[in-house]
Amino acid sequence: MKPVNPADLERRRDTLLARLRALPNLMRGSVYERARKCGRPRCGCATSAGPKHRTRQLTVTLGGKTHTRYVRVDAVAQVQAQIASYHALWALVEELTAVNLELLRGTHPGGRALRTRRVR
């Protein structure tokens, strides 16, 4: 493997940090659609023969507890964009970790010095 120039790695790290700072609002979770009854007794969904209403739900687990929220039709795109930003954040964190790990390579002060071969 070809050694990488530390200056190149630091430039890459600075680029990743700038991208990290530029991320918009984000949220962890999943949006899904489900069929449910509306609760009105005269609605067709109240009988077993009638179709149920399609709704969008956001589900998030915080502190070991699952939270579910209704998402309005006009807010679905916004919520999905926030979730996409969350995934972009973790992709950046993975890249940044790889760069920082590479920068740490060979800088341990207590590590053994490279041995040189003696020519006899």
Instruction: Give the model's pLDDT for residue 108.
Output: 54
DSSP line for 22-48: T-------EEEEEEE----TTSGGGSS
Instruction: Give the model's pLDDT for residue 92.
Output: 95
Tell me the per-residue pLDDT of 51-74, one tens digit each, with 9 for 90 and over: 888 999 999 999 999 999 999 999
- Where the chain has pLDDT below 70, the residues are 1-3, 106-120
pTM value? 0.73
Pairwise CA distance, residues 89 & 72, whole Å: 25
Distance set, CA 55 to CA 32, 35, 38, 42, 70 (Å): 8, 6, 10, 19, 7
